[in-house]
Structure 1
Amino acid sequence: MHYSLFSKVLFVFIISVQYIHGVRRFLSVTETARAVQQLEDGHTQREVARRFGVSCSVISRLWTRFQTCHTYSRLPGQGRSRITSARQDRYLRTLALRNRQYTARALEHAFNGATGVHVSDQTIRNRLHEHGLRACRPARGPVLTPQHRVNRLRFARSHVNWQARHWSQVLFTDESRFHISTCDRRVRVWRQTGERYAQCNIVQHDRFGGGSVMVWGGICIQGRTELVVVNGGSVNAARYNNDILHPVVRPFAGAIGHDFILMHDNARPHTTRITRQYLDRETIEVMEWPARSPDLNPIEHVWDLISRRIAGRNTAPQTIQQLTQALLQEWMAIPQYMIRRLIISMRNRCRECITARGGTTSY
């Protein structure tokens, strides 16, 4: 007897907990009108509550309100009053916009000190959510001084009206280093609560990369250069001239014609005296490129695409030789129409740079 009574009580408790956490606590005006119509048709409050997925108390309150006031909407003054006024909410929004990197706790202290109204950090989040502000990871970009912005803006304004026929004469080049072991934070895992540090949910990588390969490449609308693997260190002025400019860039420039333009950044090997003398001797025109502008160089997207394709392979490269072979294969496997589309986007890149007043763009 006692066992059956205990079982009934336990069953009612479980059902109550599931009911409280699994149903809504309010209905919209349209749903309220439908619920009232069903009550007037003779359905019980329990049946209506089950159909709309709310508790019986919700149906009871709206039915009482309708019989008393003949309205479907909530009466003014119902619910807990807000501790902050509309003016204080606007001040909180302004405070968050002026201090973008403040945490909710820091905004709480600043708001309490300025207004004298003590609110919790969760209230701060709720008010900012109402204004469409949410905490997100910031975008990353290079450090830009005022002079960098001026140079970027000047470049964008002078090239924003270039058409595809103008960009077709430009060879975009750059060096990039690829590591065997990388962790770009893009890989996601399916896990349950409390399994963050389970062995199956940990992506292991070497902090120092476990070995790397430096490569150089160039792209244009008509094609691309061969991928040059720089063995044994980084690129210096002598290697840049002997291994890249003379055997790769010079023949490519001859194939394009007299209007050929070389684009390379302001790295030290590109601006040394011997490099400039060689380019002048070979009559190769060099595009004046603003410093710290990787977002304006379309080849950066090619490097990112190659990195993604290598990371997505069924068997990741384990040695320098395997990584080098994978880089050469993926470089040649990139469709030319993707490269063309990246270079055609230079007009939009310049427009965004002008809009940002020389600042970082979304590219």
Structure 2
Amino acid sequence: MVRNRLHEGGMRARRPQVGVVLTAQHRAGRLAFAREHQDWQIRHWRPVLFTDESRFTRSTCHGVGWHFFGGGRTALHVLARSSLTAIRYRDEILRPLVRPYAGADGPGFLLMQDNARPHVAGVCQQFLQEEGIDAMDWPARSPDLNPIEYIWDIMSRSIHQRHDAPQTVQELADALVQVWEEIPQETIRHLIRSMPRHCREVIEARGSHTHYGDSF
């Protein structure tokens, strides 16, 4: 398993728990989203900027964490040593990364972000509204619907397979940024093309979680 490999190398990646308890409301929201998007093709998903975060640590670095936000082909942004607040999310993610991407993408752009508290805070919602950036109505507790979750696995495996394993937190950050930039565009397109099938799997599961690592 990827998790075991990372632990053996002194490295850990925090992943969302797919087995987290879902309420009836969560399942209903996931089911509604899947039904609405099950027939979307890649041309429908193309204007969507998927975003996500993952926390990587090295056991030798006393648990210092780095959060990596990525989506589409924006730069992989690193947040070190402190928690993400709504202000930081606006000033370090939305303003310098999402806004230029949205402007370049043009009409129809959609931001995909999960329902983490900083993301849905009033200050961030106000910023998106002022900038004319539309965000998808994303169902809560749905990491299995986000293709970037699979990217984290790809990156973790790539880092572990390196002969020059990162020895410090900064080296780990630099290595992950490099791996991110080297991911083939075809890999991203494949993940996007998998979205309709994955939506159908959520429908078959009646809104329950699916195994995204096997499905994408």
TM-score, scaled relative to structure 2: 0.87
Q: CA deviation at 1:323?
A: 0.7
Aligned to 2:55: 177
Q: Which stretches in structure 1 are left out of the alignment for 5+ residues?
A: 1-138, 182-205
Q: CA deviation at 1:210?
A: 4.1
CA contact (8 A) 2:18 2:143 kept: no
> Structure 1: how far apart are the matches of 2:33 and 2:18?
22
CA contact (8 A) 1:159 1:347 kept: yes
Q: Which stretches in structure 2 are left out of the alignment for 5+ residues?
A: 1-16
Provide, for residues 231-282 of structure 1, a one-character-per-residue CA deviation record: whole Å limited to 9, x for no partner.
3312110011111111110010011111000000000011111100000001
Given the alignment, which residue of 143, 147, 153 partners 2:25? 147
Find out whether 1:270 has 2:148 as its counterpart. no
- CA distance change for structure 1 residues 141 and 325 in 2, over 3 Å: closer, same or farther? same
Q: Computing the radius of gyration over CA atoms, which structure comes out larger, 1 or 2?
A: 1
**Higher relative strand content:** 2
Q: CA deviation at 1:140?
A: 5.6
Q: Which amino acid aligns with 1:281?
A: E
Aligned to 2:45: 167
Aligned to 1:247: 96
Find out whether 1:331 has 2:188 as its counterpart. no
> Structure 2: how far apart are the matches of 1:305 and 1:260?
26
Provide, for residues 34-72 of structure 1, a one-character-per-residue CA deviation record: whole Å limited to 9, x for no partner.
xxxxxxxxxxxxxxxxxxxxxxxxxxxxxxxxxxxxxxx
CA contact (8 A) 1:264 1:287 kept: yes
TM-score, scaled relative to structure 1: 0.52
> Structure 2: how far apart are the matches of 1:232 and 1:282?
29
SS of the aligned residue for 2:181 comes to: helix
> Structure 2: how far apart are the matches of 1:330 and 1:315?
13
Provide, for residues 330-362 of structure 1, a one-character-per-residue CA deviation record: whole Å limited to 9, x for no partner.
010111100110011110110000000001112
Q: Which amino acid aligns with 1:302?
A: I
CA contact (8 A) 2:18 2:211 kept: no
> Structure 1: how far apart are the matches of 2:37 and 2:194?
12
Q: Which amino acid aligns with 1:179?
A: T
Find out whether 1:306 has 2:155 as its counterpart. yes
Find out whether 1:218 has 2:71 as its counterpart. yes
Q: Which moved more, 1:249-258 or 1:315-324?
A: 315-324
Aligned to 1:352: 201
Aligned to 1:319: 168
Q: CA RMSD in A?
A: 1.6
Q: Whose relative contact order is higher, 1 or 2, with alpha carbons under 8 Å and at least 6 apart?
A: 2
> Which aligned pairs between 1:1-363 and structure 2 lie closer than 5 A?
141-181=19-59, 210-219=63-72, 224-363=73-212
SS of the aligned residue for 1:262 comes to: strand
Q: Which amino acid aligns with 1:235?
A: L
CA contact (8 A) 2:52 2:113 kept: yes
